[in-house]
Amino acid sequence: MSRRDLLGMSTVALAGAVPLAVYPGPGAPAHAAEQVHGHGHKPGVTPPEDLMREHGVLKSVLLVYREGIRRIQRGEQVPGQPLHAAAQVIRDYIERHHEHLEEKYVFPRLREAGRLHRTVGILCQQHKRGREITARILAATRHPRASAHQRQALVSDMAAFIRMYEPHEAREDTVVFPVFRKVTPAGEFARLAEVFEAEEHRRFGQHGFTTMVHKVADIERALHIHDLSRFTPAKTPSRHRHRRPSAR
């Protein structure tokens, strides 16, 4: 690639928006583009995208916790095994991997840039509090037979975890990760993409993310909440939608 071609590239591309592929020149054979975009040559996952899809796993576990709360409050037996498995996903994949990456690579970069200092402090505090709650959920779900007090304590812990992590992950996705991308040089941004991928492979194997998605899907099936259509609200009859409120 000539220096002129390099300078002609978009600023967004050079800033690390997506990993750059080497495109064939105008005189290359027609099948050259297929070689570039063939199997095994898809653009890599950027650090924010990696962290945000891990948030998808977290969101799924929050749905499992909600179902556990619903059943316990209805007087049903504690679904100990599914809840225990869900808490293990939180401990192993979210706390020991996802949050480890944030605390080691994302938050220090923001501190060095003098950005979001208070927000980062709160997020770190919430990581610590979340680990304490997860430890209690793991202990409480080892044995499904529990006293009324233990059942209520488990409900309180799962509800507190949900209440904390919904705004937590929303703030990271909409504020923290965009600023992190903005203050990180392109070369460092590309290097971190490789670091994040290597760390996931080291901990969970070549298909770590997919493995976790399947594991959570198995938990959802055990609780019969795996059917996405169940979350669609019923259609309201038109006569109820257009009824005017009473003058009273």
User: 139-163: per-residue pLDDT in tens?
Assistant: 999 886 788 899 999 999 999 999 9
| Cβ atoms 80, 142 nearer than 8 A | yes
Whether the pLDDT of residue 241 is over 70: the answer is: no
pLDDT of residue 237: 79
Lowest mean pLDDT among 3-12, 92-101, 183-192: 3-12
Q: At 224, list the tokens.
A: 């019969």
pLDDT in tens, 10-28: 333 333 333 333 334 444 4
With cut-offs at 50, 70 and 90, classify the pLDDT of residue 61: very high
pLDDT of residue 144: 66
pLDDT of residue 85: 97
Whether the pLDDT of residue 34 is over 90: the answer is: no
| Cβ atoms 198, 65 nearer than 8 A | no
Render the burial of 197-221: b for 16+ CB within 10 Å, e for the rest. Answer: bebbeeebeeebbeebeebbeebbe
Please identify which residue in the block is written with the tokens 């949900």.
Answer: 162
CA-CA distance, 52 to 98, in Å (whole number)?
10
| Cβ atoms 63, 204 nearer than 8 A | no
Q: At 46, list the tokens.
A: 């950027």
pLDDT of residue 44: 76
pTM score: 0.78
pLDDT of residue 109: 97
CA-CA distance, 53 to 135, in Å (whole number)?
24
pLDDT averaged over every residue in the chain? 84
